[in-house]
Chains A and B, each alone.
Chain A
C-alpha cells in the first residue's frame, strides 16, 4: 500500500542523483587541465566543495529526523534523498580526487567515507528485508503480547508443579529464573541462548539452550513416574514445549530488531570520524598550498 524509501515519489531522488552524476562525469570528461586530474585543479576544487557540502547535508539528516516541527518535506523523502545522494557522493569524490590515492590523511577521509556509504547501503538492505520478516515472525501479535504469553506459561507451570513433589517446583523456578533472552544487542543479534538451569539433585547449573536440558530431565522423570504423576509431568512438558516455541519467536523478534539497529552503531560513529578526517583534509590542503 505504501512505497519504500527507494521507490519514494516515482524515485525522484534517484533521477536527481543520476543527473548529478552525469553532470559531474561530463564535466570531468570535458575538462582538460594542465596537470593530471586531481583535487587541485579548478574542477577538482569545485567537485571537492560539492562533496564537502554533500557530506554536511547528508549528516544533517540526523538533525532533520529529530526536528519534529519541521515542515520541509517528510522524513521519508529526506531518507530517500539521503540514500541516493549518499551513493552519488562516491562518484563525486572519486572524480574530485582524479582517482589518485596514497597513504595519507586525504585517502583516510576517503576510506572513512566509503565505510560510511557501505554501512549505509547495508542498512538500506536491512530496511528493505527485515520489517517483513519481523511481521511474519510475530504473526499478528505484538512483542509485549508474546512476553505476556510467556509469563502466562510460567505462571501455569508453577501451578502445575505444585501438584508434584518439591524437586519439580525447584526445577520450574530455576528454569524460569535462569532463562535469558539476551541482554546486550550483540547477544540478541547472535541469537545466543545463555539460559541455564539447576537440575534437582545437582549443585551446579547446566546449559539449557532451547530448554533442551529441561525437556530431557522431564522426559526422564516421566518415564520413571507412576501413572498419576506421569500425567501431571506430561502437562508440564507440554507447557515447556509451548514455552520453547514462544522463546524461539521472541528471540527471532529481538534478533531482527537488533539487526535493524546494529548497523547504525557503525554508520553514525564512522560519520563522526569522516567529519573529523574531512576537516583535517581541508585544513591540510590549505595549509600546504
Chain B
C-alpha cells in the first residue's frame, strides 16, 4: 500500500501528527506496536494526574490536551481520534525502513511492506520490549507487559527475567497465582535491594519457585514452556508466560534507517533540521526521541511536522516566547536575526545544529546588566553557564587581579563542572548582553558535541590551574599544559593511586571527592577527605618519589591529571608554586599526625564517606548522645512544608554515635537533576537543591536519587491554628495532617529545600529541643572527629 505519509508510534507526537494529517486531508497511516494509543501514559497508575508543562507554550494540535487525570486525557484523545476518524493500525511494529524520498519502504514485523513518500518517527525513548528469542515467542500466551497483576487469578504463570520489572510482576502475581520465575543467571544481581529482598524471601517461602541458570528453549502454544536447566530440559505447563527482559533502545533501529546522531553518547540526539527533518530527506523525527520529552511539546511538533511536510511554512509554537525573551535586547525584534547574532558572536555555538541552539536559547535567559552589576558572587552555589554575546565582564580573581572577558567568551564552567561554589565574583564592566544557560542544557550540548566539550574542558583546566596553583602564569603556558593534561574518571571506590606507588603526577579533583588513607600499624586509616577544586598527589612530587598515601574516590569522581614532567616544568617556571605546594604538604603532614594519634576518627570519616557524603554539600546529622527521639525535627519539617516531612529521623545508619538520617544532602552533582523532563530541579545560590512548581510528578528524580530522600506527595489539609489546637484539641496535631481529599490525585516530588524560604534557617535544626540535629558541610567532618577521638 502506498501512502503520502506514514507515522510510526502513537504517542502524543504521533497522535497529534496523524490528527493533523487527517485534518489536512493527507493519504497517511499511523502505526503503533501496542494495542492502544499512548502506551506510556496507559501504563501510568490509575488516576495519576498528568501535567501540561511548559505552561508558557500554547498547545497547537487537533487533539485536546490539558492537565488532568490519566483517564481524562486518554479519554479526550480517544474521542478526538474517533471524531476525526484517524487512520490508525495497532499491534503493528515497524522493523526496517529502506529506500529514499518519495519511495520509502517500511517493513512490518509480520512481513508486510508499506510504501510512503515521507515517514515521521515518533517512537519515543522507551523502545520495544525485548522478545524471548525462541520459537513461539509471539504466541498469544506470551506477553511482554503486565498492567494489572490482580487481573489474573489461580493461574500458573511463568515469569521470564531477573530485573526489577520481572521481580515486581512475579511478587505481585504470586498473591493469587502459582508463579515460576526463570532466571538466566545464578542470582538476581541486577535488582534493586528492596526487590532483591522481596524475591529472595518469596523463593525461601516457596511462594514463588525459581529456576536459576535456566534459559527458555521453546514455547508450546496453549501452553507450556520448555526450559534448558542445568540438569537438562524441563517442560512446564502453564496458563501464561510473562517476559520482562528489558527493552531494545530505539537508537539502533533509528540508525538502521540511515539517520545520524550527533555523537556516540547515549543521551545524544539525532541530527535534525529546524523542520524536524533528519539527514535522510523525507525522514522526520519528533517527540522524546528528538529531544522533546514533554507531552505538549511533542503534540505541537506533531502538528508542525505535518505542516512542514505539506510544504507550508509556519512559525514554531515557541516563536512568541522567544520574541518576548528578546524584547529588551538592543537588536530590534526579529527572532531569527537575534538567534543569528547569538550564533555568530559565540564561537562555541558555531557548529551547533539550529534546532538545538534554538532549544538552548529558549531555556536560557538573556541578561542585560548595567555597568558594575554583579552577575554572580563568589561562593554562590549557582551552576548556570554564561556566554558573553556583547560587551565585557570582569572576573575578580583571588589575587585581586581583574580578568576581562569579551564577546564570544564564557564563564561559569567551573561550578558547572565541579558542582561547587562559584570561585570568583563576576561583574559587568559596561552595558552588555549575556546568555545564561541552565546546567542541563549545557550538559546536553556537551554530550552531543565533542568540540563543545573539548573547548569547555580546556578552559576549565586553564582556569583551575590559575585559581589553585599558578595565578601569574601566562595564558600561553597554561594552554600548553591544558593540552597535555588528561581527564580521568573514577567510579566510587576506585583508587587514584596507592601508597608506595611511583609518583607520576598530580590530580586536580574536578568533581566528586576523594579520601586519603595511610597504612598505620597494619591498618588502613583515613586521614582526610579532599573535595573537588583541590589537588592530591603533591607530596610525592616535591619530596620523596613514592606516594605517601592511598587516594580513593568516595563517589564518582573526575580528575585532571598533570604528568610529573609537566609539573616539574611548571615548578621551574613559576617561583611561587613551590612555596604553595610546600604549605599544602605541611598541612597534610600535620593532618596525618593528628589522625595517627586518633585512628578511630578516621573510621568515622570512612563511615560518612560510605554513606555517599563525599558528594554532599550540606548534610543533616544527628548526635545520638543528645537525640531523645522526639521527632520534633520531622514534625517541624512537615509543618513548614505542606504537611509532608522530607526527612526520616529514625531511618539511616549510625556509627560512633553519629546518625545519618534519610534526608537530602544537596549533592554537588545532584543525581535527581539528571532526568527531569520540565527541568524543575534547580540549585539556589546558597546551595539548596529544590524542586519548582513546574514538577510534572513523573517520579524520575525519586528513582534517580540513590539516597531515597525524594518522595511523591500530595498536598495536605490546611494546618489548624496552633493556639486553637493547644487549647481545644480540635484539628490535626502538629505533624498529623492528612492528605486533602480534593487533591489526592496530584502528586509531586518533594524533598528538602533547606527551608530556603524561611527566615531563620532549617526548621529541623531550629526545632530540635536538645541540639542533636545539625547541618554541616563535608569539609567540617573533621570537627566531628575531634569528638570521636
Contacts and interface: CB of A to CB of B under 8 A. Distances in A.
A68 B636 contact: yes
A135 B625 contact: yes
Contact of B772 (A2, A68, A78, A140): A2
Interface stretch (A112-120, A124-132, A233-241): A124-132
A279 to B, nearest CB: 15
B125 interface: no
A195 B353 CA distance: 74
B628 A65 contact: no
A134 interface: yes
Interface in A115-158: 127, 130-132, 134-135, 138, 140-144, 155
B201 A66 contact: no
Contacts of A4: 626, 770-771
A74 B765 contact: yes
Contacts of A260: 628-630
A3 to B, nearest CB: 6
Contact of B722 (A67, A127, A135, A142): A67
Interface string A236-262: 000000000000000000000100100
Contacts of A132: 624-625, 657
Contacts of A130: 628
B777 interface: no
B723 A63 contact: yes
A169 to B, nearest CB: 15
B734 A2 contact: no
Interface stretch (B294-302, B481-489, B647-655): B647-655
Interface stretch (B253-261, B457-465, B550-558, B756-764): B756-764
Contacts of A76: 768-771
Contacts, number: 107
Given A3-B771, A62-B726, A75-B768, A131 B655 contact: no
B698 to A, nearest CB: 29
A131 B625 contact: yes
B230 to A, nearest CB: 24
B308 to A, nearest CB: 54
A71 interface: yes
B231 interface: no
B640 A69 contact: yes
Contact of A1 (B204, B758, B759, B787): B787
B177 interface: no
B572 interface: no
A159 interface: yes
A143 B629 CA distance: 11
B388 to A, nearest CB: 41
B600 interface: no
B227 to A, nearest CB: 26
A214 interface: no
Interface in A46-72: 62-63, 65-71
B623 interface: yes
B763 A79 contact: no
Contacts of B652: 142
Contacts of B559: none
Given A63-B726, A131-B627, A144 B650 contact: yes
A8 interface: yes
A5 interface: yes
Given A4-B626, A4-B770, A140 B654 contact: yes
Nearest to A72: B760
Contact of B629 (A69, A75, A257): A257
Given A68-B640, A68-B763, A140 B653 contact: yes
B635 interface: yes
B204 A159 contact: yes
B767 interface: yes
A147 to B, nearest CB: 11
Given A65-B632, A79-B769, A130-B628, A71 B205 contact: no
A144 B722 contact: no
Interface residues on A, range: 35 or more
A141 B659 CA distance: 10
Contacts of B628: 127, 130-131, 260
A70 B760 CA distance: 8
A4 to B, nearest CB: 6
Nearest to B654: A140
B657 A75 contact: no
A189 to B, nearest CB: 15
A142 B627 CA distance: 13
Q: Chain A: interface secondary structure?
A: helix
Interface string B736-776: 00000000000000000000001110010111111110100
Contact of B624 (A79, A134, A155): A134
B784 interface: yes
A2 B774 contact: yes
Interface in B241-271: none
Contact of A68 (B635, B651, B654, B787): B635
A71 B760 contact: yes
Interface string A1-33: 111110010000000000000000000000000
Contacts of B759: 71
A75 B772 CA distance: 11
Q: Name the residue in B623, B636, B640, B769 with the highest tally of chain A Cβ atoms < 10 Å from its Cβ.
A: B769
B224 to A, nearest CB: 30
A275 B451 CA distance: 76
A1 B623 contact: yes
Contact of A2 (B636, B639, B771): B771
Given A68-B640, A155-B205, A260-B629, A142 B787 contact: no
B783 interface: yes
B722 A79 contact: no
Contact of A134 (B629, B766, B774): B629
Contacts of B639: 68-69
A220 to B, nearest CB: 29
Contacts of B734: 66, 68
A133 B769 CA distance: 18
A67 B734 CA distance: 9
A1 B624 CA distance: 10
A131 B624 contact: yes
Interface in B81-139: none
Given A66-B722, A68-B734, A135-B625, A5 B771 contact: yes
A151 B627 CA distance: 27
Contacts of B650: 142-144
Contact of B769 (A1, A65, A67, A142): A65
A1 B722 contact: no
A126 to B, nearest CB: 8
Contacts of B629: 131, 134, 257, 260
Contacts of B654: 135, 138, 140-142
Contacts of A143: 650
B130 to A, nearest CB: 34
Contact of B767 (A5, A75, A131, A134): A75
Nearest to A67: B722
A131 B551 CA distance: 36
A71 B784 CA distance: 27
B770 A65 contact: no
A8 B771 CA distance: 9
Max count, chain A CB within 10 A of own CB: residue among B630, B726, B759, B767: B767
8 contacts: A65-B632, A69-B763, A75-B768, A76-B768, A127-B770, A131-B624, A135-B657, A143-B650
Q: Lowest 5 A-B CB distances belong to which pairs?
A: A135-B624, A76-B771, A71-B760, A68-B636, A68-B639
Interface of B: 201, 204-205, 623-630, 632, 635-636, 639-640, 650-655, 657-659, 722-723, 726, 734, 758-760, 763, 765-772, 774, 783-784, 786-787
Given A1-B783, A2-B623, A75-B766, 11 more contacts: A1-B786, A4-B626, A4-B770, A66-B734, A74-B765, A127-B628, A131-B624, A131-B628, A135-B627, A155-B201, A155-B204
Interface of A: 1-5, 8, 62-63, 65-71, 74-76, 78-79, 127, 130-132, 134-135, 138, 140-144, 155, 159, 257, 260
